[in-house]
Structure 1
Amino acid sequence: MTIKVVIADDQAMIRTGLRLVVEMAPGVEVVGEAADGRQAVALVRRLRPDVLLMDIAMPHLDGLGAARLLLADPGPPKIVMLTTFGTDGNLHASLRAGVNGFLLKSSPPEQLVSAIRIAAAGDALIDPAATVRVIASFAAQAEPVTPPELAELTERESQVLHLLGRGLCNSEIANELRIGEATVRTHSGRVLHKLGLRDRVQAVVFAYETGIVRPGAKEQTC
């Protein structure tokens, strides 16, 4: 089944470049482009794409505002934010709003396509080169709070949450804990369910905000 994508960015050259990358991937189709947040909201509501690639900084309505509006709709698209490292003060708020991931605009083409596929499949992608560090900088500004739901996790589930918070993917968690990837997926699902989290992006935010992972912890990539 073809994955339908809408691209939202106020720079025409960026949109063109993203379209070229996306449309080179088999099974992925760009169905529309928007130049600002308002256009993005209207276009998504009309075209009902599977995935929205959206810049945070846009005129009229920024990416955060557009994401909040769309995520309040029934059956919203998966949203992947595009960001420039070190410049987006709304990153943490966007993650809390429930977007499905973040990528640097300088990310390699294969990572962009991977993010689209991962989001469309219902999971989330965090760019390890930027997002975890930015989340850590936000989390460092407040005292960690330990929610009572943490007590419901088993020892193994707590270990999985810690590794999710460090940005490890399923294969890396499996290697770290010496268990199978299917078992990792099972534990991850239970962690998300018990903590009321939607995906692994929110699990990373949760891990930093509660002090499970401390700023400066080593991030890894798949």
Structure 2
Amino acid sequence: MTAPVRVLVVDDQTLVRQGIRSLLSLTPEAVVVGEAADGEEALDILATEDIDVVLLDLRMPVRDGIATLKAMHERGQAVPTLVLTTFDDDALVLGALRAGAKGYMLKDVSLEQLLGGIRTLHSGGTLLQPALTERLLRAVSATQTTRAAMPAEELSPRELDVLRLAAGGLSNRQIARGLFLAEGTVKNHMSSVLLKLGVTDRTKAVLRALETGILSPDEKQ
């Protein structure tokens, strides 16, 4: 039997932490091995416990979510991190993605959705939840002041197709179905996109493409 994913829950609300622990106790796929009420507590736990995935709130006292992500990377504790957010956290979520978060989900997700997100990050993937993606795309467009020069021809037409669908929150499998391609082909296109944009994951690729003008919010599929 596969060992459960070891999860650290970081949220200043006790009820939220208890709720997530209770939910995950219903499945053998994941287990909460640590709880933290702020970023400082989270960093202490990461230094002593073997954590697979961090579930991170953004608004916390002492050290908030973005500061925690930055400290994790500075200290070599860059565990895959899934931000748990509310609808009014657009700017904070963008900051978290830029600071290294691998994805985001709403706090009112179901157990099945939460498990899916944990599994995705644990397997090395990233998660863009469709319910929030369009809002984030428009937030990027509204807040950017200049766009670095990067001609759209740097990406092939097919790579642009893949990137647009990724910006819509689709997984590689869903993109493959939508474009009638093999999933491996989509992965190859995405790898090429990451290389050309000089980023390490698809969340940063979407942000980079918006900041440089390769994509606009209106191009979301």
Q: 1:210 corresponds to which residue?
A: 212
Two-structure CA RMSD over aligned residues (Å)? 2.1
User: How far apart are residue 197 of structure 1 and its match?
Assistant: 1.6
Q: 2:184 corresponds to which residue?
A: 182
- CA deviations on 1:51-106 (whole Å, 9 max, x unpaired) are 11010001111011001100223252101111111245322111111211111101
Aligned with 2:57 (options 42, 55, 58)? 55
Q: How many residues align?
A: 219
Residue 114 (structure 1) aligned with residue 116 (structure 2):
yes
Check whether the contact 2:162–2:189 (CA below 8 A) recurs between aligned residues: yes
3-state SS of paired residue (1:90):
helix
CA distance in 1, matches of 2:219, 2:160: 16
Amino acid at match of 1:200: R
**What stretches of structure 1 move > 6 A for 4+ residues in a row?**
none
The more displaced of 162-171 and 136-145 is 136-145
User: How far apart are residue 189 of structure 1 and its match?
Assistant: 1.7
Amino acid at match of 2:201: D
Percent identity over paired residues:
37
Amino acid at match of 2:182: G
Aligned with 1:2 (options 1, 4, 7)? 4
Q: 2:128 corresponds to which residue?
A: 126
3-state SS of paired residue (1:38):
helix
Structure 1 gaps of 5+ residues are none
Check whether the contact 1:126–1:132 (CA below 8 A) recurs between aligned residues: no
Cα distance change on mapping 1:18 and 1:37 into 2, 3 Å? same
- CA deviations on 1:109-140 (whole Å, 9 max, x unpaired) are 21111111101111111121124412322323
Amino acid at match of 1:5: V
The more displaced of 62-71 and 197-206 is 197-206
Q: 1:139 corresponds to which residue?
A: 141
CA distance in 1, matches of 2:125, 2:54: 14
CA distance in 1, matches of 2:157, 2:122: 31
3-state SS of paired residue (2:55):
strand
CA distance in 2, matches of 1:73, 1:96: 17
